[in-house]
């Protein structure tokens, strides 16, 4: 009986001890509490992790281990590397998440050639075996990769994530095998990027020969892995979606998330039971791409954590404060740049795109710009790099590039303006056509005016590159200039004449990049110019029908953040062209030169209000025997051709002269997303021999003003401007739709 009673007593005591809260049990048995933090994935919903971390710090909770997936890996990796919650909050609030989703490459990171192409075509599609395809992912994920590389600079020499200030791991998925991949060693920014590579939205990340995507596909709540690290007390934050009904499965993103959740929903019941403090923020009203609602989601995370604040305080360590990082490094002392062997592209080509050389001190901004340049070229399907840190020698940047098997692209665009009228462009671009580093491109433009552009370019980066181009442009319009200082209009007794303008130009040129930003080029051109008017008699309708031979040189710089609605940056351009000879249709040709320059500066007063100041000038040197290269001002919204330039207040091609100077100031107010209201004023002096007189600054000036609305779209800008001049009795409405070409 005594034995039975003793056994019963032991059973009761054991059961009582077993029923204790895990924390009480650990403390009673004097076992150190090792807190593991589990952060799930959930896209923008993962902002809630930041709010939870803030409350954990309020409760003095010291985290001993962190495991995360996807956005949980991003937040958890930053926290593990030494950032505190306030610092992470600041980072996320200053991050452009639109750029993350769109893989937006800043315009300032693109060279001149890439800028020109990207601001001409609305849609680019790969062509393989004569079949037009679609991109494998919306984004290469480079924005995340570059950001993580900068923020985790202090962890460059840590390859074992257990050696971080807080031991860390994250989860990815092998897209080929479907296997879960545990990432706890390697290059930390790369591991985090792989864990966050949401399928179809971001391209897979290659690590040790495996193509990895979002770990949420297999394990979105890595509690078992954190327990194996040594944690004996788990705080878990779950921001993943539950399964949706068919009524709520609207849109591709929601369906993709549902597919991901199908594989992980069954295991969450046990994982919740194994979590000592389970935090589930109320974020059902937000989606995985609700980045604009980040502040609200952070607060939702904090609210959920405060509901269990008493439990958290019990886990807290009295006096513990996470002070975070003292300083975020922004510089790299580049000892060397290593590039894996490439079949079709030379080292000089890659270095020219990156814009970085050995033995150079750079910022992470410069590194990001170089990576963006590589991405913009579309020469590489995957781009990754690691940085090896040496305290004595500096950093070695190891680039691993996978050449894009797609060499051919089909591009389209559409445009309307008052000069060329309606135009539709179809382009075919082929890379590696004859040599390494080359590209051949043909624009076929149909509409009211048939045109074409042909380019062949061998890009040698910092070394001189070689190009051949051919362009055919034509338009027909009633204009107020007649290349005779108005004498012909006066003779005919009309205010305007019909002008048929045709330009057929062919050029070969050399071009190089220096000081990372400037483009220097020189070449020779063969140009056929035909200008005629149906207003004139049939006996002699032609103004000109000559072929001109010239040599040219140019210097360009452009750091505008946006070509059409710049908020910051500046640009400068200088051109000089010497016309040596001509077939001389008018029997009056003498050699002459054209010099022109323009510059601009954009500045933002506030986030929404900016100003853009531009000035330009040009003049002819030599005999005034060919008026058809005069500067002609008027109109808006067209791609400038030769010396035909826009000018508010006057209709297209209204003012002419062999020299001019012009200035423009535009105030732009952006509102909502990509909407713009603007006001512009410009003034110009134009005429023959304008700068030959010492009193040219007081010469007659033309004034013009414009108010307008603009919208940035995937097809290019949509602009409507009402323009007027105090010198004219009427105003003009200019409409420009789409990218200009």
Buried-state track 27-65, b at ≥16 Cβ within 10 A, e below 16? eeeeeebbbbbbbbbbbbbbbbbbbbbbbbbbbbbbbbb
Element (H, E) at 173: strand 168-174
> pLDDT for 665-722, tens place per residue?
999 999 987 899 999 999 999 988 888 888 777 777 899 999 999 999 988 999 999 9
Helix 188-195 vs helix 71-80: angle between axes, to the nearest 10 degrees?
160
pTM: 0.69
Least confident of 560-564, 624-628, 723-727: 624-628
Q: How far apart are CA 586 and CA 120, in angstroms?
A: 36
What was the pLDDT predicted at 7?
Answer: 41
Q: Which two tokens stand for residue 512?
A: 């190089």
What was the pLDDT predicted at 360?
Answer: 85
Least confident of 275-279, 317-321, 402-406, 482-486: 482-486
Residue 728, pLDDT > 70, answer yes
Residue 5, pLDDT > 50, answer no
| First-last CA distance in the chain | 101
Backbone angles phi, psi at 45, to 5 degrees: -60, -20
Buried-state track 220-233, b at ≥16 Cβ within 10 A, e below 16? bbbbebbbebebbb
What was the pLDDT predicted at 261?
Answer: 60
Residue 27, pLDDT > 80, answer no
What was the pLDDT predicted at 188?
Answer: 95
Residue 19, pLDDT > 80, answer no
> pLDDT for 428-469, tens place per residue?
999 889 987 889 999 999 999 999 999 999 987 667 889 999
368 with 109: CB under 8 angstroms?
Answer: yes
Q: Quickly tell me which residue has 């200088």 as its tokens.
A: 574
Q: Quickly tell me which residue has 């360009």 as its tokens.
A: 556
Beta bridge partners of 609: 669
Least confident of 172-176, 602-606, 622-626, 653-657: 622-626
> pLDDT for 231-272, tens place per residue?
999 999 999 876 666 666 665 556 656 665 665 566 788 899
Q: How far apart are CA 221 and CA 223, in angstroms?
A: 6
At 58, the pLDDT band (50, 70, 90 cuts) reads very high
Computed over every residue of the chain, the mean pLDDT equals 86
418 with 448: CB under 8 angstroms?
Answer: no
DSSP 104: P
Least confident of 103-117, 171-185, 227-241: 103-117
If you average pLDDT over residues 579-597, what whole number do you get?
A: 93
Q: Which two tokens stand for residue 478?
A: 């009633």
> pLDDT for 210-227, tens place per residue?
999 999 888 999 999 999
Residue 77, pLDDT > 70, answer yes
Backbone angles phi, psi at 212, to 5 degrees: -115, 140
If you average pLDDT over residues 11-21, what whole number do you get?
A: 39
223 with 235: CB under 8 angstroms?
Answer: no
Q: What angle is formed at CA 522 by the lines to CA 516 and CA 525, rounded to 5 degrees?
A: 145
Element (H, E) at 427: strand 421-431
Least confident of 135-144, 178-187, 434-443: 135-144
If you average pLDDT over residues 314-340, what whole number do you get?
A: 85
Give the highest mean pLDDT range of 13-27, 125-139, 611-625: 611-625
Please report, for residues 73, 84, 99, 202, 260, the alpha-carbon distance to residue 214 in angstroms, rounded to integers and kept in the order given: 10, 25, 19, 9, 10
Residue 2, pLDDT > 50, answer no
């Amino acid at each position: 009986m005594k034995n039975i009673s003793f056994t019963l007593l032991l059973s009761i005591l054991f059961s009582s001890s077993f029923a204790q809260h895990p924390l009480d049990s650990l403390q009673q048995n004097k076992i150190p509490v090792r807190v593991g933090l589990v952060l799930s994935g959930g896209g923008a919903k993962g902002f809630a992790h930041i709010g939870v971390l803030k409350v954990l710090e309020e409760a003095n909770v010291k985290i001993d281990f962190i495991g995360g997936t996807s956005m949980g890996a991003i937040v958890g990796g930053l926290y593990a590397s030494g950032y505190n919650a306030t610092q992470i909050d600041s980072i996320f609030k200053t991050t452009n998440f639109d750029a993350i989703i769109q893989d937006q490459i800043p315009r300032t990171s693109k060279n001149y050639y890439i800028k020109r192409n990207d601001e001409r075509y609305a849609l680019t599609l790969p062509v393989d075996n004569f079949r037009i395809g679609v991109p494998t992912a919306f984004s290469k994920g480079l924005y995340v990769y570059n950001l993580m590389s900068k923020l985790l600079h202090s962890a460059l020499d840590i390859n074992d994530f257990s050696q971080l200030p807080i031991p860390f791991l994250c989860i990815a998925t092998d897209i080929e095998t479907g296997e879960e991949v545990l990432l706890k060693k390697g290059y930390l920014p790369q591991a985090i990027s792989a864990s966050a590579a949401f399928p179809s939205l971001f391209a897979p990340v290659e690590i040790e020969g495996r193509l990895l995507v979002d770990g949420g596909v297999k394990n979105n709540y890595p509690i078992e892995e954190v327990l194996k690290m040594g944690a004996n007390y788990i705080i878990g934050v779950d921001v993943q979606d539950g399964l949706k009904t068919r009524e709520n499965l609207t849109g591709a993103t929601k369906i993709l998330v549902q597919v991901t959740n199908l594989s992980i929903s069954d295991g969450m019941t046990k994982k919740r039971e194994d979590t000592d403090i389970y935090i589930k923020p109320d974020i059902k009203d937000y989606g995985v791409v609700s980045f604009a609602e980040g502040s609200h989601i952070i607060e939702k995370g904090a609210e959920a954590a405060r509901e269990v604040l008493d439990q958290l305080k019990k886990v807290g360590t009295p006096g513990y404060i996470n002070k975070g990082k003292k300083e975020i490094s922004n510089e790299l002392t580049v000892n060397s740049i290593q590039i894996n062997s490439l079949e079709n592209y030379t080292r000089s080509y890659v270095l020219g795109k990156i814009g970085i050389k050995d033995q150079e001190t750079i910022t992470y901004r410069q590194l990001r710009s170089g990576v963006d340049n590589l991405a913009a070229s579309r020469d590489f399907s995957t781009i990754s790099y690691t940085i090896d840190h040496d305290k004595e020698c500096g950093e070695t940047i190891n680039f691993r590039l996978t050449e894009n098997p797609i060499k051919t692209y089909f591009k389209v665009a559409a445009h309307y303006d008052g000069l060329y009228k309606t135009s539709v462009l179809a382009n075919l671009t082929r890379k590696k056509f004859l040599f390494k580093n080359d590209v051949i491109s043909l624009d076929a433009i149909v509409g009211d005016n048939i045109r074409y552009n042909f380019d062949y370019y061998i890009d040698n980066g910092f070394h001189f590159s070689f190009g051949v181009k051919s362009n055919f442009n034509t338009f027909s319009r009633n204009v107020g200039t007649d290349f005779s200082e108005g004498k012909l209009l006066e003779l005919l007794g009309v205010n305007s004449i019909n002008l048929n303008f045709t330009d057929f130009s062919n050029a070969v040129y050399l071009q190089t990049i220096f000081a990372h930003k400037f483009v220097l080029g020189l070449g020779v051109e063969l140009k056929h110019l035909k200008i005629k008017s149906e207003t004139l008699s049939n006996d002699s309708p032609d103004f000109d029908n000559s072929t001109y031979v010239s040599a040219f040189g140019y210097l360009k710089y452009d750091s505008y953040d946006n070509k059409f609605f710049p908020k910051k940056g500046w640009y400068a351009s200088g051109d000089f062209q010497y016309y040596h000879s001509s077939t001389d249709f008018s029997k009056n040709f003498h050699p002459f030169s054209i010099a022109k320059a323009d510059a601009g500066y954009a500045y933002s007063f506030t986030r929404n209000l900016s100003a853009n100041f531009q000035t330009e000038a040009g003049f002819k040197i030599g005999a005034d025997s060919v008026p058809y290269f005069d500067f002609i001002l008027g109109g808006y919204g067209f791609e400038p051709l030769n010396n035909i330039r826009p000018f508010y207040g006057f209709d297209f091609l209204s003012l002419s002269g062999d020299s001019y100077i012009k200035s423009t100031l535009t105030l732009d107010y952006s509102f909502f997303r990509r909407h713009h209201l603007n006001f512009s004023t410009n003034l110009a002096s134009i005429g023959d021999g304008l700068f030959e007189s010492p009193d040219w600054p007081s010469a007659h000036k033309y004034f013009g003003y414009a108010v307008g609305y603009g919208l940035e779209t995937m097809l290019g800008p949509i602009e409507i401007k009402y323009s007027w001049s105090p010198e004219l009795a009427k105003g003009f409405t200019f409409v420009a739709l789409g990218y200009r070409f």
